[in-house]
Amino acid sequence: MNRPTALIAEDEALMRERLKEKLADAWPELDVVAEAADGNQAIAMFADWQPQIAFLDIRMPGMSGLDVAAAIGGDCHVVFITAYDQYALQAFDAGAVDYLLKPVESDRLTATVERIRRKLGSPPADLSALLADLRAEMRPQASRMQWIRAAVGKQVKLIPVADVVYFQADTKYTRVVLGSGEALIRTPLKELLAELDPEKFWQVHRGTIVNLDAVSGVLREDAERQFILLKNRQERLPISRQFTHLFKQM
């Protein structure tokens, strides 16, 4: 019986190697026949090897993982790899495509492998709707929110988004916390996430979005409790368990 084959497209060599090693443990029968460092290389390698499965990093130089998926998704089963879950999870969960969050966890990979194994006898999923949703979420940096109109006392001020340390839900309002002082806006966190740059602003708790430029480190009190330390403020921001994976490499 022929062994299943796969392509890994990931621009970080270390990540690529780690995923290959974890796949060898989770799926010994799988042959990783090609490894690409960018989207253009992934397209060329897919044409040469015609693998059944493609593990695609969403953000790569040149053609993105979404571009590659649009080109090859009808001919193989796609698993997306992403470091940013907040902008993608809803789109992924609504579709039939698997995804892996960086750093890739063994338990998640094992579950993904089991799902792919079951799908190999069926045609690949139609990715068109999912790709449209993801492209909408990943619009260019220039169209991301740059300024916020916020109430400061009796005044309404225009605040650069880059100056915000974190956003925090607070009853009917959202607190806009700065290095010194704070303001209030009515925009819910969910709407803010759709407008903010996902490479700069991460959701770390159900009610908190933090500016990574304002983070000095992470305090791990134990396996269950982790806190973000800030450069210009004394408070510590708790990290929910569902977001702790974002900071494992810090």
HSE toward the beta carbon, residue 112, CA cutoff 13 A: 24
pLDDT digits (tens, 9 = 90+) for 123-154: 998 888 888 877 776 665 556 788 898 877 77
Q: Where are the beta strands (DSSP E) in the chain?
A: 5-9, 31-36, 53-57, 77-82, 98-101, 147-152, 155-160, 164-170, 173-178, 182-185, 201-205, 208-211, 215-220, 226-230, 236-239
The phi, psi pair for 12, rounded to 5°, reads: -95, 115
Distance CA 129, CA 167 (A): 31
Give percent above pLDDT 90 in the chain. 50
Q: Strand, coil or helix: what is 147?
A: strand
Structural domains of the chain sorted by starting position, each given as residue range(s) with its CATH number in brackets: 5-137 (3.40.50.2300), 142-247 (2.40.50.1020)
Distance CA 119, CA 121 (A): 5
pLDDT digits (tens, 9 = 90+) for 166-225: 999 988 899 999 998 899 998 988 888 878 888 789 999 989 999 999 999 999 887 678
Distance CA 119, CA 47 (A): 21
HSE toward the beta carbon, residue 44, CA cutoff 13 A: 8
State pTM to two decimals. Answer: 0.60
When the pLDDT of each residue in the chain is averaged and rounded to a whole number, the result is 87
Q: Strand, coil or helix: what is 176?
A: strand
Q: First vs last Cα of the chain: how many Å apart? A: 44
The phi, psi pair for 48, rounded to 5°, reads: -75, -40
Contact assessment for residue 51 and residue 34, using Cβ atoms and an 8 Å cutoff: yes
pLDDT score recorded for residue 215: 94
